[in-house]
């Protein structure tokens, strides 16, 4: 397939903000597409969602590639860049000039673009920087000006056509089941008609579940192309490839929790750490965080423990890793181990200093067989057979069977006394639903609500804080996967110095991701996730979410969270509705 077709789609997407129009456009495009790579590229990605690799090409290298392909001088290129504020447009303009003078340029294919971008990610070591530049330049040389614009933006991870996972899912449904569901799209009014909602919802669930299990739209797309709906019925989770974790709902009280999950129920300690998905296949152990980031290298101690304490060759397990103080044998707060997640150096030293206990609570693949549909009780039984528990190292989560509120209540108190966050109550017969916040399990904990938000911008400080970013714009995700702002936070950071967090530190983290600077205000790529508490949520026209947090305060950095894990606008609305009276307490 020609890359030009994809470039056309990008262009049309760029010119509309209407989700239905985008869905229709992508659905039409997918119907004609013969390369699964398009569904990855159309979102501005190079890899499927589960694959965290990055191209590692900053502006400077892309500038070199454009110069090489266009023959433009550094001054000219720099000037154009300044004028347009966009390297994609800069490449487009320069290639326009070039293509006027050259008669022939070969037609670029989606495959060629995809292959070159993949090669870039694999390059390492000496000479790799030059080679990366060459690979991009090679694409630009055979690109039409409009193609050059989108290649550059894709390489920089700044395509910004606003295609969230929800839109891609819907586009797949429209493309493959549009006829059966009787979907019609009115091009003029840009309206859609769905005659039978139920049929539509069934397909929607099917596609969403396949995506949640594979985290790979290209795989879902391939299955649909090969076998239609049948292809999606047996999607399996495979060791080695991370799966979106199942999430739980919150219950205000134990009674409410038991009502949701039914009795008898499993009650487990809720450890205050971070979620870790443990994979083993072909003798290789891989560890993923909840945001599906591969952290195997950061946790050599856990890898050793898995080898020692699990008697199985192929599996995917779900666990919570908590920090422990080996001397007092007590749990440590999450902050103490959170720094281990991102650490790239002195890893063994840090592992010694901040040891962890792994608490395994679920298994979703055993011996290569998917257990997504196996009842929880049976999954736990498998775990009991293969995990050799050792406290303060690697063990099964503490669990009892509760039949009454009184039993659960006593267990809750015991859990809190042992330094845990609360308890989990789980339905014994439930399946495992990747990526869903379902009522198969609930958490009960006493702490107040916090929000996980992403930093979208900041303001340079004043006076002695002049060299630091001091006030941070924060946002949540709306239903179209866009980030909408909800307030500014500057409070709580000074108190975190002991945990190694400071304005200086945050400034350093955000500096490489600044995309715009106006006076003292900067905008940053939304990447850094923090947890904040607040006094109240108010309706407010000041921020794009329509809400504002009153007195937000930073609670902690969330290194284990990515932009897909942050709270949604729907969460904020729900919290706002449920908080009556909270502000005046």
Which residues are catalytically annotated?
270
Between 49 and 397, name the residue whose CB sits nearer to ligand ATP.
Answer: 397
Closest CB 445 distance from ligand ATP, rounded Å? 6
**Burial of residue 74, with CB atoms counted within 10 A of its CB: 0-12 exposed, 13-18 middle, 19 or more buried:** exposed
Considering only 232-240, 264-272, 454-462, 499-507, which stretch makes contact with ligand ATP by CB under 6 A? 264-272
255 Ramachandran zone, left/alpha/beta (phi>0; psi -120 to 50): alpha
From 202-210, 267-275, 348-356, 484-492, give the range in contact with ligand ATP by CB under 6 A.
Answer: 267-275
Nearest approach, Cβ of 322 to ligand ATP (angstroms)? 8
Residues numbered 300 to 329 that lie near ligand ATP (CB under 6 A) are 320
CA 468 to chain centroid: 28
Scanning residues 508 to 527, which ones bind ligand ATP (CB under 6 A)? none
The least distance separating ligand ATP from the CB of residue 291, rounded to whole angstroms, comes to 11
Per-position b or e across 3-29, b if 16+ CB within 10 A of its CB: bbebbbbbeebeeeeebbbbbbbbbbb
Q: Which is nearer to ligand ATP, 275 or 496 (CB)?
A: 275
Contact (Cβ atoms closer than 8 angstroms) between residue 267 and residue 408: yes
Q: Both tokens of residue 434? A: 């990747």
Q: Between 220 and 324, name the residue whose CB sits nearer to ligand ATP.
A: 324
Nearer to ligand ATP, 44 or 441 (CB): 441
Whose tokens are 């609360």? That residue is 422
Report the nearest approach of ligand ATP to the CB of residue 287 (Å). Answer: 14
CB-nearer residue toward ligand ATP: 416 or 514: 416
Helices 110-122 + 3-14 axis angle, to 10: 90
Six token digits for residue 8: 């056309």
| Run of H or E including 155 | helix 145-156
Q: Is 361 in the site for ligand ATP (CB under 6 A)?
A: yes
CA separation for the pair 249, 444 (Å, rounded): 9
Q: Rounded to whole angstroms, how far apart are CA atoms 409 and 423?
A: 10
Rounded to a whole number of angstroms, the minimum distance from the CB of residue 101 to ligand ATP is 57
Binding span for ligand ATP by CB under 6 A among 68-76, 149-157, 262-270, 469-477: 262-270
Select from 114, 174, 176, 271 the one that contacts ligand ATP (CB under 6 A): 271
Q: Which of 112, 443, 527, 553 binds ligand ATP (CB under 6 A)?
A: 443
Q: Does the protein bind ligand ATP through residue 270 (CB under 6 A)?
A: yes
Q: Which of 36, 58, 61 is nearest to 47 (CA)?
A: 36
95-117 burial: b if 16+ Cβ within 10 Å, else e: beebbeeeeeeeebbbebbbebb
Q: Which stretch binds ligand ATP (CB under 6 A): 41-49, 270-278, 370-378, 484-492?
A: 270-278
- In 10 A of CB 329, how many CB atoms? 11
Measure the CA angle with vertex 374, ends 372 and 380; round to 5°. Answer: 100
The DSSP letter of residue 240 is T
- Record the tokens describing residue 98, joined without a space: 């070039």
Binding string, residues 46-85; x marks residues near ligand ATP by CB under 6 A: ----------------------------------------
Q: Which of residues 384-423 bind ligand ATP (CB under 6 A)?
A: 397
Cβ at position 273, least distance to ligand ATP in Å: 7
Residues in Cβ contact with 105 at an 8 Å cutoff, skipping those fewer than 6 apart: 99, 141, 142, 143, 144
Q: Which is nearer to ligand ATP, 161 or 341 (CB)?
A: 341
Residues whose CB is less than 8 angstroms from the CB of residue 509 and which lie 6 or more positions away in sequence, other chains included: 528
User: Which of the ranges 80-88, 90-98, 263-271, 498-506 carries the binding residues for ligand ATP, by CB under 6 A?
Assistant: 263-271
CB of 568 to ligand ATP, least distance (A): 12
Joined tokens for residue 104: 């022939």
Q: Does 453 bind ligand ATP (CB under 6 A)?
A: no
Minimum distance of ligand ATP from residue 131's CB (angstroms): 40
Q: Which is nearer to ligand ATP, 183 or 489 (CB)?
A: 489
Nearer of residues 399 and 496 to ligand ATP, judged by Cβ? 399
- Which range of residues in 104-112, 151-159, 259-267, 269-277 is near ligand ATP by CB under 6 A? 269-277
Residue 298 to residues 239, 280, 334, 487, 496: CA-CA distances in angstroms? 19, 17, 16, 33, 23
**Residues 401/407/412/415 CA torsion (nearest 10 deg):** -60
Nearest-approach distance from CB 259 to ligand ATP, in angstroms:
18
Q: How far is the CB of 361 from ligand ATP (least distance, A)?
A: 4
Q: Which of 248, 354, 366, 503 binds ligand ATP (CB under 6 A)?
A: 248
Selected binder of ligand ATP within 244, 275, 279, 379 (CB under 6 A): 275
Do the Cβ atoms of 43 and 6 come closer than 8 Å? no
Minimum Å gap between C-beta 479 and ligand ATP is 18
Smaller CB separation from ligand ATP, 396 or 537:
396
Per the structure block, which two tokens stand in for 390?
A: 């050792």
User: Does residue 424 touch ligand ATP according to CB under 6 A?
Assistant: yes
Token pair 């549909």: residue:
373
Full DSSP string of 313-381:
SSEEEEEEEEEEETTTTEEE-HHHHHHHHH--SSHHHHHHHS-EEEEEEEEEEETTEE-TTS-HHHHHH
CB nearer ligand ATP, residue 132 or residue 291? 291
Total of residues contacting ligand ATP (CB under 6 A) = 12
Letters for 116-145 (x = contact with ligand ATP by CB under 6 A, - = none) are ------------------------------
In terms of CB distance, is 10 or 361 closer to ligand ATP?
A: 361
Q: Which residues bind ligand ATP (CB under 6 A)?
A: 247-248, 268-271, 275, 320, 361, 397, 424, 443
């Amino acid at each position: 397939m020609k890359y030009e077709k994809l470039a056309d789609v990008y262009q049309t997407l760029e010119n509309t903000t209407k989700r239905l129009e985008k869905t229709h456009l992508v659905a039409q495009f997918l119907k004609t597409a013969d390369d699964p790579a398009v569904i990855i590229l159309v979102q501005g990605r190079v890899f499927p969602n589960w694959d965290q690799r990055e191209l590692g090409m900053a502006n400077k290298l892309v500038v070199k590639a454009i110069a090489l392909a266009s023959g433009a001088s550094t001054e000219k290129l720099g000037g154009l860049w300044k004028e347009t504020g966009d390297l994609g447009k800069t490449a487009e303009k320069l290639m326009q000039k070039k293509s006027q003078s050259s008669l022939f340029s070969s037609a670029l294919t989606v495959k060629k673009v995809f292959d070159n971008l993949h090669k870039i990610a694999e390059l390492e070591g000496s000479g790799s920087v030059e080679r990366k530049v060459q690979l991009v330049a090679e694409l630009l040389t055979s690109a039409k000006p409009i193609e050059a614009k989108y290649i550059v933006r894709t390489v920089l991870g700044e395509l910004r056509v606003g295609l969230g996972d929800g839109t891609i899912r819907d586009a797949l449904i429209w493309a493959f089941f549009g006829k059966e569901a009787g979907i019609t799209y009115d091009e003029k009014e840009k309206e859609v008609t769905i005659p039978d909602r139920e049929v539509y919802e069934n397909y929607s669930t099917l596609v969403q579940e396949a995506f949640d299990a594979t985290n790979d739209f290209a795989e879902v797309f391939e299955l649909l192309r090969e076998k239609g709906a049948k292809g999606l019925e047996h999607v399996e989770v495979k060791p080695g490839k991370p799966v979106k974790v199942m999430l739980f709902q919150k219950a205000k009280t134990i009674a409410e929790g038991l009502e949701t999950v039914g009795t008898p129920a499993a009650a487990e300690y809720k450890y205050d750490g971070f979620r870790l998905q443990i994979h083993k296949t072909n003798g290789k152990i891989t560890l993923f965080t909840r945001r599906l980031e591969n952290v195997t290298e950061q946790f050599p101690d856990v890898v050793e423990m898995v080898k020692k304490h699990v008697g199985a060759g192929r599996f995917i397990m779900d666990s919570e890793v908590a920090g422990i103080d080996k001397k007092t044998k007590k749990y440590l707060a999450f902050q103490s181990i959170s720094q281990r997640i991102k650490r790239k150096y002195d890893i063994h030293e840090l592992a010694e200093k901040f040891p962890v206990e792994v608490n395994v609570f679920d298994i979703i693949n055993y011996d290569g067989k998917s257990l997504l549909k196996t009842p929880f009780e049976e999954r736990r039984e498998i775990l009991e057979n293969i995990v050799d528990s050792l406290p303060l190292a690697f063990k099964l989560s503490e669990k009892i069977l509760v039949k009454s509120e009184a039993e659960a209540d006593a267990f809750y108190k015991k859990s809190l006394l042992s330094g845990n966050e609360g308890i989990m109550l789980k339905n014994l017969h439930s399946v495992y639903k990747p990526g869903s916040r379902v009522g198969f399990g609930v958490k009960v904990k006493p702490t107040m609500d916090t929000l996980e938000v992403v930093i979208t911008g900041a303001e340079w400080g004043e006076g002695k804080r002049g060299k630091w970013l001091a006030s941070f714009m924060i946002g949540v995700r709306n239903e179209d996967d866009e980030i909408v702002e909800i307030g500014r936070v500057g409070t709580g950071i000074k108190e975190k110095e002991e945990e190694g967090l400071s304005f200086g530190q945050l400034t350093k983290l955000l500096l490489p991701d600044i995309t715009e600077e106006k006076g003292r205000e900067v905008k940053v790529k939304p990447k850094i996730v923090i947890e904040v508490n607040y006094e109240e949520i108010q309706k407010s026209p000041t921020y794009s979410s329509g809400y504002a947090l009153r007195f937000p305060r930073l609670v902690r950095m969330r290194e284990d969270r990515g932009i897909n894990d942050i709270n949604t606008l729907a969460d904020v609305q729900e919290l706002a509705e449920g908080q009556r009276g909270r502000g005046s307490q």
